[in-house]
Structure 1
């Protein structure tokens, strides 16, 4: 197997959905979240979100990915149904954002594809799930020398990120700013989530090098992800304790302020329906 498509994103960003769109073009093995410490025994004692300075990259992640490429390692994230290898390899992971630049340097056979969803929507989706426990430990970001050198404002922003929503947004911005500034644009294919059907179809054709059959593509496009939990699948008590709601103006302000702090505004221009750039800057302080 010469190359592998590596889908990189934060959680709740459509990576499971898009991996299946890619596999609708031709049958592929989808390796779901090999860096997940709950599903890969060799990573059980490692940090849930590996950082740029973490020796786990060379010591464990590179050998793990080589084993995946050789077919010697398969995670059981969604069971046996995705274990199709004749059409290629897709590796999908939401834990890889800050180790991806080094991994791609060490493993040139990885073809990175990053999926971008607005951090306000990502954080709101995480907050709506009572069992989501990943990526809110922002204090650990300031312990990484590479991140501190790249983002000297980190300690100030960490002190201000008090709620789970704010902490999710901050981690999102740090991870994506680091990724997008350390991988050459010519090597990185960017996909927006959500994507209109025709835009998704074009992205699949560009990445896979072939058009997906109409029926297979449409089925994958409308199918719910196994990681999505619709409201009607939750208990009444859970819905009362953790109601789903759209982000409010204050949450949009915080997210847009963080996009400004990390120079990510070109990816997500502040819309007229949110607070506006001047108020976002003021909120960032």
Structure 2
């Protein structure tokens, strides 16, 4: 019955600031975190709206679209406003929605990391949550599920290359294995928003930290969102969603589950790739992240990012 009622709802507040945007690379835990945030079903869940293959409204977007923060093209702004303000209705995006009357939206997308700086500049005041997970775990999970890396489509965007990844272009194009391609894609997807956003612009969640220390990470998350929570959030974190269960691979169940799948040689190669981007400040050959490394990258962003929109400018 709930599935039949999913398209029947009233989204009564079109202010984009009433949306929470949850982003992350595929297989990084975005569904898991989204269901935790929505443990009281206070939000309308908008699932993967920036998917041009599933959402006709987004047909002018690439699968991993990059836009400079100062890009004011109406074809992109109008589409994004429709999504962020609750105007989009689609069987794909509404497939997990379960409430009739809603005033807040929870928008979850694994294709929007490269849009976050642009969103922050053009839709200020909307809370953004970015989830990071060890790239070896992400790559292993994607490979186990047979996911394509989409690296070629990303590297076809000249603005992206010019603004952020020209120094690494030769190494990226020389990637010779599927594993390397997935790791390079992870680097691009996370390097760009960490360069464009400041610690005040976004709340970072590290999959491993949330898994190991939910009692610390959950209050931090809900404080950022300005929302209350109850103990059901911990039950949700302990109980994977139906979507998560369908896509669970052996390496997803524990922080170190990927080690036996990836092996020492590929782990070392991933560390080499991360070091090119300076992302070894966050993830190395060990299991746990260094959140301070990510925040340091964000604090170092001033005067380094082309197309950045300054406050008041």
Match for 1:111 among 108, 116, 127?
127
Paired position in structure 1 for 2:112: 96
Aligned CA-pair RMSD? 3.0
Q: Deviations over 1:156-191 (max 9, x none)?
A: 212331111111110110121111011122111100
Give 1:119 deviation, angstroms: 0.9
Match for 1:260 among 275, 287, 294?
275
Paired position in structure 1 for 2:299: none
Paired position in structure 1 for 2:44: 29
Paired position in structure 1 for 2:26: 11
Change (3 A) 1:81 1:229: closer
Does residue 213 (structure 1) correspond to residue 230 (structure 2)? The answer is yes
Unaligned runs of 5+ in 1: 233-243, 274-285
Comparing 38-47 with 106-115, greater Cα deviation is found at 38-47
- Check conservation: 2:203, 2:221, Cα contact below 8 A: no
What secondary structure is seen at the aligned counterpart in 2 of 1:185?
coil
Change (3 A) 1:167 1:67: same
Alignment of 1:1-285 (within 5 A): 1=13, 2=15, 3=17, 4-25=19-40, 27-44=42-59, 46-52=61-67, 58-77=73-92, 79-84=94-99, 86=102, 88-130=104-146, 132-133=147-148, 135-138=149-152, 140-141=154-155, 143-194=157-208, 195=210, 196=212, 197-214=214-231, 216-225=232-241, 226-227=243-244, 228-230=246-248, 246-271=261-286
Distance 1:108 1:271 in 2: 36
Paired position in structure 1 for 2:3: none
What secondary structure is seen at the aligned counterpart in 1 of 2:279?
coil
The two structures have a TM-score, normalised by structure 1, of: 0.79
Distance 1:75 1:267 in 2: 37
The two structures have a TM-score, normalised by structure 2, of: 0.73
What secondary structure is seen at the aligned counterpart in 1 of 2:118?
helix
Unaligned runs of 5+ in 2: 1-12, 251-258, 289-313
Q: Deviations over 1:190-244 (max 9, x none)?
A: 0011313213422332233233221x21331122230442469xxxxxxxxxxx9
Distance 1:175 1:63 in 2: 24
